[in-house]
């Protein structure tokens, strides 16, 4: 009997693409305003897809396995979110619909309370239409942090709700040589 | 049941507490008149609608996320702190994890009925409370040693 667990990469990839693309798309992104629903949904989707391929004869999926699945989903989702979001955000800022208002930032340039280093950064930010390396890295870190946290929670919730058997509290370990762990 | 004294547990508690502190940073910065304090709100804009009328006011300014989201994060931390003492409930939730739906029911009801800041906060807290147990159990199961050993080879 093949006791190898199904790979987590495919469900994580599908969940990650789902959360990354939907979280970046205009209008649809606002669903995240409901407690990060799209990101949690990406984690749940990954767990449901993983459960679909998970054979019944294996021990139930543990919450730790679910967390690893959600973590991978979040990492993939964070990358995709940033890749899709940056060009869209650049375009939205050009037409004055971005999250940060360029005119507000321009006013901040004249504020004497802002340190010169920050003023230089802001001037660079405005000159490049919001696409400086610093902003790209910052956006990526924020997206990655949010998607990793919430996709992990989503995958754990998905396993808790959709797995028919109660999840094992710790990952099951079989005696003898271990098959490669997931993916 | 995992041990509440493990370092993983305390990392989770510290992380959740820091998250709550971060949510309080934007209103605090605004109340101090720090330039570009709006930017600190923008950092959480992708997580929540941040409508001031639906948010808890602290230092005369809204918290970075709405009352329901604040409740969710607060409930998670409370869950982490008190589940080590609630052994029977912990066992019941681990045996029947679909009880999560029951805990989320007040939040679903609150969405449909006329609600207040308090009801949004409390129903959010109730929904995330049992999730803390599952996340704790998940984190406790992480085996770091095999990963480290593999690196050494």
pLDDT, mean of residues A65-69: 93
Mean pLDDT, chain A, integer: 80
Contact A111, A123 (CB under 8 A): no
Predicted local confidence at residue A181, as pLDDT? 46
- Which residue of A113, A142, A161 is in closest CB contact with B35? A113
Kindly report the nearest CA distance between residue B109 and chain A, in angstroms: 15
ipTM given for this complex: 0.85
Q: Tell me the domain boundaries of chain A.
A: 9-162
For chain B, the residues whose C-beta falls within 8 A of a C-beta of chain A are: 1-2, 35-36, 38-39, 42-43, 45-49, 68-69, 72, 94-98, 100-101, 124, 131, 134-135, 137-143
pTM above 0.90, yes or no: no
Instruction: Note the pLDDT tens digit of each residue in A109-160.
Output: 677 777 777 777 777 777 766 677 777 888 889 889 999 999 999 999 999 9
pLDDT, mean of residues B47-56: 85
Instruction: At B56, give phi and psi (nearest 5°).
Output: -80, 135
Kindly report the nearest CA distance between residue B148 and chain A, in angstroms: 15
Ranges assigned E (strand) in A18-126: none
Q: Is B101 left (phi over 0), alpha (psi -120 to 50) or beta?
A: alpha
Cβ pair A157:B134 closer than 8 A:
yes
Kindly report the nearest CA distance between residue B21 and chain A, in angstroms: 16
């Amino acid at each position: 009997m093949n006791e190898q667990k199904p790979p987590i990469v495919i469900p994580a990839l599908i969940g990650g693409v789902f959360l990354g693309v939907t979280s970046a798309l205009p209008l649809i992104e606002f669903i995240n305003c409901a407690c990060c629903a799209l990101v949690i949904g990406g984690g749940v989707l990954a767990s449901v897809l993983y459960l679909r391929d998970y054979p019944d004869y294996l021990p139930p999926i543990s919450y730790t396995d679910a967390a690893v699945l959600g973590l991978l989903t979040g990492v993939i989702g964070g990358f995709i979110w940033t890749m899709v979001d940056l060009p869209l955000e650049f375009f939205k800022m050009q037409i004055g619909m971005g999250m940060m208002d360029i005119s507000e930032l321009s006013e901040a340039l004249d504020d004497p309370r802002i340190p010169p280093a920050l003023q230089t950064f802001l001037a660079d930010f405005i000159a490049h239409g919001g696409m400086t390396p610093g902003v790209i890295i910052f956006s990526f870190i924020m997206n990655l942090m949010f998607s990793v946290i919430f996709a992990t929670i989503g995958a754990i919730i998905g396993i808790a709700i959709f797995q028919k058997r109660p999840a094992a509290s710790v990952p099951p370990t079989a005696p003898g040589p271990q098959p490669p762990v997931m993916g | 049941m995992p041990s509440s004294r493990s370092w993983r547990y305390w990392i989770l508690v510290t992380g959740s507490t820091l998250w709550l502190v971060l949510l309080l940073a934007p209103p605090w910065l605004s109340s101090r008149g720090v330039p570009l304090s709006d930017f600190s709100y923008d950092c959480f804009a992708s997580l929540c609608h941040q409508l001031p009328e639906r948010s808890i006011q602290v230092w005369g300014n809204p918290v970075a996320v709405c009352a329901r989201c604040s409740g969710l994060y607060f409930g998670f931390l409370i869950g982490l702190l008190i589940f080590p003492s609630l052994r029977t409930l912990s066992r019941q939730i681990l045996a029947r994890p679909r009880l999560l739906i029951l805990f989320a029911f007040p939040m679903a009801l609150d969405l449909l009925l006329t609600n207040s800041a308090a009801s949004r906060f409390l129903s959010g807290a109730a929904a995330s409370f049992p999730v803390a147990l599952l996340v704790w159990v998940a984190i406790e199961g992480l085996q770091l040693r095999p990963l480290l050993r593999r690196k050494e080879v």
